[in-house]
């Protein structure tokens, strides 16, 4: 995902391995857009999305997963994610999401 974000023009990109690291990076960096995998070790991506939005209610969180599951998609959007991307994604899908949610 990092390589794809760099290809579409992002240069300040951070990656986390789990809930705790993701929350810590978000707290420190306050990114405008965050991509959160819904399947994480320990706590879920839904829980991370909820935590991120507690820290910054205006944050833009895009949920991601390689598993197509209507319940997971609904839970991620209900937790505050603005959109859902299926992994692996491509430049076209990523570009469409970024165009919708970027200034």
Structural domains of the chain, ranges and CATH numbers in brackets: 2-101 (3.40.50.2300)
Q: Where are the beta strands (DSSP E) in 5-102?
A: 33-37, 60-65, 83-86
In this prediction, residues 82-89 reach a mean pLDDT of 94
- pLDDT tens digit sequence for 19-62: 999 999 999 999 989 999 999 998 999 999 999 999 999 999 99
Residue 17 has pLDDT above 90, yes or no: yes
- State the pTM of this model: 0.92
Per-residue model confidence (pLDDT) at position 10: 81
Q: What are phi and psi of 89, to 5 degrees?
A: -100, 180
Collect all residues with Cβ–Cβ distance below 8 Å to 7 and sequence separation of at least 6.
Answer: 91
Per-residue model confidence (pLDDT) at position 40: 93
């Amino acid at each position: 995902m990092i390589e794809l974000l760099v290809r579409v023009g992002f240069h300040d990109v951070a990656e986390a391995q789990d809930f705790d690291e993701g929350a810590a990076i978000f707290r420190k960096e306050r990114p405008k857009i965050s991509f959160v995998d819904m399947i994480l070790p320990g706590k879920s991506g839904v829980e991370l999305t909820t935590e991120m939005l507690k820290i910054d209610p205006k944050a833009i969180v895009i949920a991601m997963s390689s598993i197509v599951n209507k319940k997971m998609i609904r839970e991620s959007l209900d937790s505050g994610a603005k959109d859902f991307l299926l992994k692996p994604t491509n430049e076209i899908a990523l570009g469409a999401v970024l165009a919708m949610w970027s200034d």
